[in-house]
Structure 1
């Protein structure tokens, strides 16, 4: 089969799947409609970008529309960044300030206006033939790469903060949001490296491989799109956002008193009393058996302000809330596994009984504390 025909088929499939997934996201019932709408718009623009592979005849008669289509790629990464914010933070709302993310798109279209949009007749067709050597397009390509790098780094920073806040405030072992976004970011980065490498072939002695590289890029894009579909179908309620107003302990503690607090930690009778009271409550009342336990819920139960409890656990006890709670769950599980009268309980039954909600999370945490798998510990 001719490579161009094969590329057109791949692109057509990719566009169709992207649009179907966008429709699914817009129509599915979910608590986070804003995130779905952002991701659906992201997929629609991705489909527009892929569509350039197989609408050549239409392009020739609509050069202005084709030039505009090129520039829409500058909206894709901002949408992904806003999507990341919307699923990481449950209280995220789109605001007028987010329109600032469209500035590169607007600037490029203004730069292209004099010699591209305003050109007429044969001049426009000539420009379309030689556009790759025009300074406006060089500026466009450089801006794309700078923007892409900026948003990749921005999303990674959002994920870093999200993970730190999650570990300090939640005991649910599920990290689906973090993993999903991290996987997406890596997939985008890898695919973009392929696209850049493909585009560079035009300026080398291997320019004849450009079409073959386009086929490879099309296949990668199609695979990523199908992966999105599988994720969306299997996990329509995938994410649990956190409150953006939550602060990290290092931000709560007055920086001026941080070293003083650390040095007095072991000798402060008030702090030691609070720690003992907390440990006694955890041992006697077993709040950790609730899989969705958060630091806010625990603070309500022991009548301690959540900021004070966060500092107590994450700073004075030098543990993330996540690890603090899971340590009690593992100790409970170890007791059950050592109890010969409970040998009939399966590992799955035990992990649910002690407050975990996934086998992989339970196994990872158990091995972290004991250097053994639950099964190996029971056998030993």
Structure 2
């Protein structure tokens, strides 16, 4: 069993880390400022809620002090949902109806000194309200993620999933307390401490999202999708990928668009850069050639050039990266003798 002093140190360090990350996010100059703000408020809400738990474990708290922790919980859910909306839809602007979801927080914050915090009433407010309120927004947020993933899985989806998993675990902990399951009260803050360190590591090492990269672009979501369909048409109907010298600039000229717009369209809709997008088509062509019985004796160099690759080396590297197999191994595994 961990000593009280060690528990206090672990929980307190996590709280300070959460608060410092909150400050870092709201003062961060780069990236999408709205996303940074929403994420910082999620962290602030969790930090306030867990901070109340840590203090309440060691010292008696007044009713209003306990209620501050609950008010922190009431901002987590809405901003978790807002974050997902803006993360996946760059051009989306939240309306006044969205911000009405913050009404429970403001009402509770205004009345927190008048709301009793004792006995069964405390149990209802302290856990029941938190569990029910956060559960609604977790369901909506997971639905937002699943709907996005069913279209095009992306780095943003993975990042949002990690956030949802962490908040879901915290929600499960409070659900257990609400249902009177036997657990140590302080384990929630300790878990949060480890969670916030993991989150900090993931955040600082995350890859920049295309959302942030094209924040100031004039090409909106619909325009980006329309352009992407034109790109696909050129590749699928005219086999543009078979030209070994195809480049972003030549493709842009064919479409009468700027290179930046074409690059953005591919990034946002295929979750790939230009070279990866071209190679995807070339590799699919190579796969078809490799299993063609009429060409099973063809040299790999011939397959490479007929697929649009300029060199055999580039072909081998791209094919192995995509399939995990060399072209010859792929052929042996898939061709009928």
TM-score (norm 1): 0.60
Q: CA deviation at 1:321?
A: 7.0
Closer/same/farther in 2, CA of residues 375 and 142 from structure 1, 3 Å limit:
farther
Question: Structure 1, residues 158-201: CA drift from partner, whole Å, max 9, x if none?
Answer: 2233335547xxxxxxx210111122212322332233224433
Choose the corresponding residue for 2:237, options 263, 267, 279. 279
The range that moved more, 140-149 or 181-190, is 140-149
Choose the corresponding residue for 1:117, options 113, 116, 121. 113
CA distance in 2, matches of 1:4, 1:36: 35
Quote the residue 1:235 is aligned against. Answer: 206
The range that moved more, 87-96 or 16-25, is 87-96
1:219 aligns with 2:198: no
Quote the residue 2:131 is aligned against. Answer: 145
Question: Structure 1, residues 198-252: CA drift from partner, whole Å, max 9, x if none?
Answer: 4433xx6x4xx434xx32x3332122211211122112624537988549x9xxx
Closer/same/farther in 2, CA of residues 377 and 79 from structure 1, 3 Å limit:
same
Closer/same/farther in 2, CA of residues 157 and 53 from structure 1, 3 Å limit:
closer
CA distance in 1, matches of 2:233, 2:56: 69
TM-score (norm 2): 0.66
Please provide the CA RMSD for this pair: 4.5
- Bigger relative CO (Cα 8 Å, ≥ 6 apart): 1
CA distance in 2, matches of 1:373, 1:24: 45
Q: How many residues align?
A: 290
Q: CA deviation at 1:76?
A: 0.7
Quote the residue 2:98 is aligned against. Answer: 98
Q: CA deviation at 1:276?
A: 9.3
Q: Any gaps of 5 or more consecutive residues in structure 2? A: 226-231, 258-268, 291-298, 305-310
CA distance in 1, matches of 2:69, 2:140: 25
Quote the residue 1:194 is aligned against. Answer: 173
1:71 aligns with 2:29: no
CA distance in 1, matches of 2:135, 2:57: 33
Kept in 1, the 8 Å contact 2:52–2:68? The answer is no
Q: Any gaps of 5 or more consecutive residues in structure 1? A: 120-126, 168-174, 250-273, 303-319
CA distance in 2, matches of 1:286, 1:140: 65
Quote the residue 1:37 is aligned against. Answer: 37
Kept in 2, the 8 Å contact 1:11–1:54? The answer is yes
Equivalences for residues 1-380 of structure 1 within 5 A: 3-56=3-56, 60=60, 63-106=63-106, 108=108, 113=111, 117-118=113-114, 128=117, 131-134=118-121, 137-138=123-124, 141-166=127-152, 175-201=154-180, 206=182, 209-211=183-185, 214-215=186-187, 217-235=188-206, 237-240=208-211, 245-246=221-222, 278-284=236-242, 300=255, 327-331=280-284, 338-339=300-301, 344=313, 350-351=317-318, 362-363=321-322, 366=323, 372=325, 376-377=329-330
Kept in 2, the 8 Å contact 1:30–1:236? The answer is no
